[in-house]
A = this chain, B = another copy of it.
Amino acid sequence: MDMAKPLPNYLVQRYHGWKATSYAENESWYRRLASDGQHPRAMIISCCDSRVHVTSIFGADQGEFFIHRNIANLVPPYQPDGQQHGTSAAVEYAVQALKVAHVIVLGHSSCGGVQGCLDMCQGNAPELDAKDSFVGRWMDILRPKYEVVADIEDPKEQARQLEKHAVMTSLENLMTFPFVAEQVKAGELTLHGLWHNIGEGGLECYSADKEMFRPV
Asked whether A104 lies within 8 Å of B7 as measured between CB atoms, the reply is: yes
- Please, how many angstroms separate the alpha-carbon atoms of A62 and B25 in the complex? 23
| Chain A contacts with B in 142-201, Cβ cutoff 8 A | 168, 171-172, 175, 183-184, 187-194, 197-201
Given A50-B65, A101-B28, A192-B7: A33 in contact with B90 (beta carbons within 8 A): no
| Chain A contacts with B in 51-88, Cβ cutoff 8 A | 51, 53, 55-71, 74, 76, 80-88
Kindly state whether residue A203 has any CB partner on chain B within 8 Å: yes
- Output the nearest chain B residue to A35 by Cβ-Cβ distance: B199
Residues of chain B lying within 8 A (CB to CB) of residue A113: 89, 93
Contact of A133 among B20, B92, B109, B208 (CB under 8 A): B92
Kindly state whether residue A207 has any CB partner on chain B within 8 Å: yes
Looking at chain A's contact residues, the main secondary structure is mixed
Residues of chain B lying within 8 A (CB to CB) of residue A17: 13-14, 16-18, 20-21, 59
Total count of chain A residues near the partner, CB < 8 A: 127
Contact of A6 among B61, B203, B205 (CB under 8 A): B205
Contact of A37 among B7, B12, B110 (CB under 8 A): B110
Bitwise, A1-29 to B at CB < 8 A (1) or not (0) is 11111111111111111111111111111
- Please, how many angstroms separate the alpha-carbon atoms of A83 and B136 in the complex? 10
- Please, how many angstroms separate the alpha-carbon atoms of A65 and B215 in the complex? 27
Nearest-neighbour CB distance to chain B for A59, whole angstroms, equals 4
Asked whether A137 lies within 8 Å of B89 as measured between CB atoms, the reply is: yes
- Please, how many angstroms separate the alpha-carbon atoms of A28 and B66 in the complex? 16
Asked whether A48 lies within 8 Å of B67 as measured between CB atoms, the reply is: yes
Asked whether A25 lies within 8 Å of B51 as measured between CB atoms, the reply is: no
Asked whether B13 lies within 8 Å of A59 as measured between CB atoms, the reply is: yes
- Please, how many angstroms separate the alpha-carbon atoms of A9 and B190 in the complex? 13
| 7 additional contacts (CB under 8 A) given A80-B134, A83-B83, A85-B134 | A8-B29, A11-B104, A28-B101, A30-B199, A32-B99, A85-B138, A89-B139
